Structure 1
Amino acid sequence: MSDIFTPGAGAPAEPANEYTDQLNEAGVPPEMHSWLSANGVGPLVVKMGIRFSEMSAERLVATMPVAGNEQVAGILHGGAHLVLAETLGSFGAALHAGPGRQALGIEIGATHHRAIASGTVTGTATAIHLGGTLVTHEVVMTDEEGRRLSTARITNMIRDAR
């Protein structure tokens, strides 16, 4: 099966454009720049400080700082957990969908297990189901000591791009 998203799978790096610096800053491998060159990673991903370290349909890993993403009580905002989870699940679904198809989030839910007031959160998305029309990932957020902060599940619908 041909894959233009996996590093070393033959996708040439896209020439630099307005999003090249953004993609590099977010940790997106150069092999995936052509896939994301039209829109970058999105302004919310940039604003939240999300940085990818692993990207495939089956597994995605990214980090996000607590600083700047806290709620009024000084801990990481619950919505920030969901932003990280939705980012990972949606990118994974889009990678699975491939060219000419798009992923649309249809459900997300989370359980918060532990608060965090400083440091970095790591989100790891693992595919539960990679189907032709539905894709589901479990996303586990942990602190720098590996303690589970939250668990989310996101389901995306796959359809032909319009």
Structure 2
Amino acid sequence: MQLSKKETLVELNKIGKNTLMETLGIEITDCGDDFLIARMPVNSRVYQPDGVLHGGATAALAESVGSYASHLFANLDDVFVRGIEITANHLKSVKEGYVYAKATFLHKGRTTQLLDIRITDDNDNLVSVCRLSTISLPKKK
């Protein structure tokens, strides 16, 4: 039985309980056949010392949404997914509101995946551009 989109979002957010995602307030908000979107509040928990969004928090958001996307589109009965590399280019500072990460696949191979993750603010301004590579490895039976 396939879950509805709403049920999928509920299940994905349950997985994030008691993890870094919960600590940072990351919430999966939308998904489709070829994308996944999450948001994170910009507040003192994710600030760098001068009161703007920390690049490390942005990278954590990007890796979270990208890894979730790889998990969502993999057959987890047979494989487990791990991140290999992440890059982040930060283009704009954010002081408040939310940032949104949209992960889309550039490559969806059996073994390796490459995702493009665009981080935007509440006004749809581009904040960061990230790339995440993941690997699907066989589970030992």
Amino acid at match of 2:95: A
Q: Report the identity percentage.
A: 28
TM normalised by structure 2 equals: 0.87
**Alignment map for 1:1-162 (pairs within 5 Å):** 4=2, 7=4, 29-31=6-8, 40-42=15-17, 43-56=19-32, 58-67=34-43, 68-100=45-77, 101-162=79-140
> Which runs of 5 or more residues in structure 1 are unaligned?
9-28
Q: Mark the CA change 1:92 to 1:31 in structure 2 (over 3 Å): closer, same or farther.
A: closer
SS at match of 2:48: coil
Aligned-residue offset at 1:30: 2.3
What is the rounded CA distance, in whole Å, between the counterparts of 1:48 and 1:7 in structure 2?
26
Amino acid at match of 1:55: C
Aligned-residue offset at 1:52: 1.0
What is the rounded CA distance, in whole Å, between the counterparts of 1:85 and 1:91 in structure 2?
10
SS at match of 1:93: helix
Q: Choose between structure 1 and 2: higher strand proportion.
A: 2
Q: Mark the CA change 1:117 to 1:52 in structure 2 (over 3 Å): closer, same or farther.
A: same
RMSD: 2.1
Q: Mark the CA change 1:61 to 1:36 in structure 2 (over 3 Å): closer, same or farther.
A: closer
Aligned-residue offset at 1:77: 0.4
Query: Number of residues paired by the alignment?
Result: 137
What is the rounded CA distance, in whole Å, between the counterparts of 1:121 and 1:36 in structure 2?
17
8 Å Cα contact 2:29/2:37 also seen in 1: yes
